[in-house]
Amino acid sequence: MQTQMQALVYEGPRSMNMREFPIPEPLPDEVLIRVERAGICGSELGGYLGHNSLRKPPLVMGHEFSGVIERLGAGVDAGECQVGDRVTANPLVTCRTCRYCRSGESQLCRSRSLLGAHRPGAFAQFVAVPARNVYRLASSITFEEGALTEPFACAVHIGRLLQLLPTDRVLIYGAGPIGLFALQAAQVYGVRGAVVADLNEQRLEIARELGATAVTSLASAGIEPGFDAVIDAVGAEATRQASVNAVRAGGRVVFTGLHEADSKLPVNDMIRNEITAKGAFAYSQDDFETALTWIRQGRTNLLPWSETAPLAEGGACFEKLISGPGKTAKIFLKPQ
């Protein structure tokens, strides 16, 4: 019986190496998942560069993933999870008893922990996950699509916070995976002709192919501000300020990018114009389940702009996404 596994370990800024570890033994409430696909998240790119305080080396990252249940913990109900099930998992582990968890805001649980940050993640052959966080994949959903559930759930959450309407003019700063998923979530809500702004022309091509008006700046494209809803999926001071400047009086702004910790904002203008500004962190359990349902219904798709590479090439894939991803929006790592 196999007792050891290979994992990709973040060991310091721009340093990731394959190491051997014992296969995790699932706790009584956990299942052991054999990882099939694990996506690289933008927050992990920041961690890889040493810019993310949540990710401290040595660490096995990876929280967007899918796989097959290999083993059940002693207390897991075999009626809910079975060995051989194709699954994805909500990587945000919460207490389930606090006021946030009980009110449908589990992402705000004060004792939350994230796979790939606070506990070993899915850049490995196997990962142990609480059984209550695991979701079976319909036979029509590929492992790649299953691994996209987590980032798409972030976009579903953004759309819910904005209470989007089909009549809304929507602007999205950032054509990375979250910005592109936010575009697709907005389209599910009925929004048409959303504007996506980014400096990367190849990423803007993806946004255009998804049905957006894609620009490097509003001014150069002759687009007037006054948007009903603006999403900042970058997290830089410049895009945060631009978001506030682009929204109409009485409009809504959601900040979801985590690139910079602090930013100056024109707060007096926000007060005088009664602009609603919210942060969007992760997703609730309902958002995650909605994302999986919409994926099953074919309402989102980033696979044409995705690629898959062996887990052992993870370091090179991180470098590619940082230095020049081209028209690649997502890279999945596949353990051998």
Domain check: are 136 and 172 in the same one? Answer: no
pLDDT above 70 covers what percent of the chain? 100
As a whole number, the mean pLDDT across the chain is 96
Q: For residue 302, give the amino acid letter.
A: L
Residue 199: its pLDDT value, please? 95
pLDDT above 90 covers what percent of the chain? 93
Residue 223: its pLDDT value, please? 97
Tell me the average pLDDT across 114-133: 97
Q: What angle do CA 50, 175, 186 make, to 5 degrees?
A: 120
Q: Give me Rg for the CA atoms of the chain.
A: 20
What secondary structure letter does DSSP report for 316? Answer: H
E-assigned strand segments in 40-115: 64-72, 86-89, 92-93, 113-114
Q: Structural domain tally of the chain?
A: 2
Tell me the average pLDDT across 288-295: 97
Cα–Cα separations (whole angstroms), residue 261 to 5, 51, 189, 207, 256:
36, 10, 30, 27, 12
Domain check: are 232 and 180 in the same one? Answer: yes
Domain check: are 61 and 45 in the same one? Answer: yes
Cα–Cα separations (whole angstroms), residue 204 to 88, 137, 165, 197, 214:
29, 31, 24, 8, 5
Does the pLDDT value for residue 4 go beyond 90? yes
Instruction: With respect to residue 14, please indicate whether it lies within any of the assigned structural domains.
Output: yes
Instruction: With respect to residue 291, please indicate whether it lies within any of the assigned structural domains.
Output: no
Please report which confidence band the pLDDT of residue 80 belongs to, taking 50, 70 and 90 as the band edges.
confident
Domain check: are 266 and 198 in the same one? Answer: yes
Instruction: With respect to residue 134, please indicate whether it lies within any of the assigned structural domains.
Output: yes
Domain check: are 269 and 164 in the same one? Answer: yes
CA distance 84 to 78: 11
With a threshold of 0.75, does the pTM exceed it? yes
Domain check: are 65 and 173 in the same one? Answer: no
Residue 116: its pLDDT value, please? 96
pLDDT digits (tens, 9 = 90+) for 152-190: 999 999 999 999 999 999 999 999 999 999 999 999 999
User: What residues make up the domain containing 43?
Assistant: 4-148+302-334
Instruction: With respect to residue 204, please indicate whether it lies within any of the assigned structural domains.
Output: yes
User: Domain of 98: which CATH number?
Assistant: 3.90.180.10
Cα–Cα separations (whole angstroms), residue 20 to 9, 23, 124, 206, 302:
10, 9, 9, 38, 32
Does the pLDDT value for residue 1 go beyond 80? no
Domain check: are 18 and 139 in the same one? Answer: yes
Instruction: With respect to residue 296, please indicate whether it lies within any of the assigned structural domains.
Output: no
Does the pLDDT value for residue 245 go beyond 90? yes
Please report which confidence band the pLDDT of residue 235 belongs to, taking 50, 70 and 90 as the band edges.
very high
Does the pLDDT value for residue 2 go beyond 90? no
Residue 180: its pLDDT value, please? 97
Instruction: With respect to residue 164, please indicate whether it lies within any of the assigned structural domains.
Output: yes
Domain check: are 27 and 134 in the same one? Answer: yes
Residue 244: its pLDDT value, please? 98
User: Domain of 170: which CATH number?
Assistant: 3.40.50.720
E-assigned strand segments in the chain: 4-12, 15-22, 30-39, 64-72, 86-89, 92-93, 113-114, 126-130, 134-136, 170-173, 195-197, 213-215, 227-232, 247-255, 276-279, 306-310, 330-334
Domain check: are 14 and 117 in the same one? Answer: yes
Number of Cβ atoms within 10 Å of the Cβ of 170: 26
Does the pLDDT value for residue 51 go beyond 90? no
Tell me the average pLDDT across 273-299: 97
CA distance 25 to 3: 10
Does the pLDDT value for residue 53 go beyond 90? no
Tell me the average pLDDT across 53-69: 95
Instruction: With respect to residue 254, please indicate whether it lies within any of the assigned structural domains.
Output: yes
Domain check: are 192 and 275 in the same one? Answer: yes
Alpha helices by DSSP H, listed for 210-299, are 237-246, 267-272, 285-296
CA distance 57 to 91: 19
Domain check: are 193 and 163 in the same one? Answer: yes
Domain check: are 171 and 259 in the same one? Answer: yes
Question: Is residue 178 within 8 Å of residue 233, measured between CB atoms?
Answer: yes
Helices (H) and strands (E) counted in the chain, each on its own, are 10, 17
CA distance 270 to 126: 48
pLDDT digits (tens, 9 = 90+) for 95-108: 999 999 999 999 99
Instruction: With respect to residue 295, please indicate whether it lies within any of the assigned structural domains.
Output: no
